Amino acid sequence: MVIACRREFLMTSQNRNRLGYAVVGCGLIGKVHCHAISVSEHCKLVGCFDVDQVIAHEVSRQFNTRSFRSVEELLSAKDVDVVSIATPTGTHLEVGKLCAYSGKHAIVEKPLEATVAKCEEMVDVFAQCNQHLATLFPHRFRQQVQSIRKLHALKEMGKPTIGSVDLFWYREPAYYTQSKWRGTQELDGGGVLMNQAIHDVDILVHLFGEPTQVNSFQGQVFHRTECEDSIVAIMRFEDGPIVSFAATTACSPGFNRRMALGWTEGLVLFEGFNIAEVRGAISVKIPVSTTRESAKSETFRTAGALSPDLHKLAFDDFAICIFHDRTPEVDGREGLKAVRTIKRIYGTEVFPTSSLKDCCK
């Protein structure tokens, strides 16, 4: 029955230029989803829902769409083809299962879920229901990242040897206290590594595969949260390189994330996932324009409004994949890899969190 519904959807969608998207969760990132969908050539924003109906009505007015009174009402709407899930991480599976069982595709804000088991269950449910599932890792769609991945895949930079990631950001204490789910195991799945630095983890896994060895120090050095606000990790990846990884939300005022990656025949320095410098023979193979783009979407100081540009590319890719019934650029299995890597890192802390916290008083 579900397969028949999907076939019927594919036949009817051929007569439309855009798919109907509805957003569940109208917080900071939910608004970015609404904005990105509303400017897409392949998507149409047909509604939104939030448990706080006041916020939902405000967002619906801002983006000239309708506000649903419940998830069930949203899922029963015939013009909703895709649900964009922007609720707290630990609720993604609950919402996602409702979508899949209702015959809706879903694109989920990172992380896919708060635990590996819940990620795996979500991937399985969508596969069983024959619905598409995608994870939102918008930096995958940057031209610079795609250029480096292509050169690496073609082995034009030699063997990858070493790398470093530094995410020195700051979040006011109110960032955590005003949204009680942030920095909790149940609803956030972790701290800075799971929330802010997961993008960097995803790019590393995208380039080099999942790490074969990990080790870490982690803890709360400033914020009074359940999970870490600072972490230093070492990873050896299956494709060869050893990478040091430092991330914090306790460093004021902070600066753009930086990632340096070295191969035997080239070196690349990213700032905010934009290429800041290229060394070696590969420098002639990187378009000059990519080395001059600013990291204008970085939010290292506050959790402010993000540019919708990269999210738009992710939504467009998902819509096109649904139209043509092919696997999205970042499907559920890809989202699972980043969470699996992070949970492995969390399981390797050298000292208990409380010990590191005591050391940093």
- Helices 332-346 and 198-208 meet at what angle, rounded to 10? 110
The residue ranges of every structural domain in the chain are 2-138+311-331, 140-302+340-359
DSSP state, residue 140: G
Superfamily of 2-138+311-331 according to CATH: NAD(P)-binding Rossmann-like Domain (3.40.50.720)
- What mean pLDDT comes out for the span 280-298? 57
Mean pLDDT, the chain, whole residue set: 89
- Report residue 330 as tokens: 């970042």
Dist. CA 225–CA 287, nearest whole Å: 43
pTM (whole model) above 0.95: no
For position 361, what pLDDT does the model report? 40
**What CA–CA distance (Å, rounded) separates 259 from 359?**
28
E-assigned strands of 238-295?
Answer: 242-248, 258-263, 266-271, 274-280
Counting residues of the chain whose pLDDT is more than 70, the rounded percentage is: 86
- CATH architecture observed for domain 140-302+340-359: 2-Layer Sandwich (3.30)
- Each residue of 177-215: pLDDT tens digit? 888 899 999 999 999 999 999 999 999 999 999 999 999
Structure tokens at 46: 């047909």
Residues 231 and 246: beta-carbon distance below 8 Å: yes
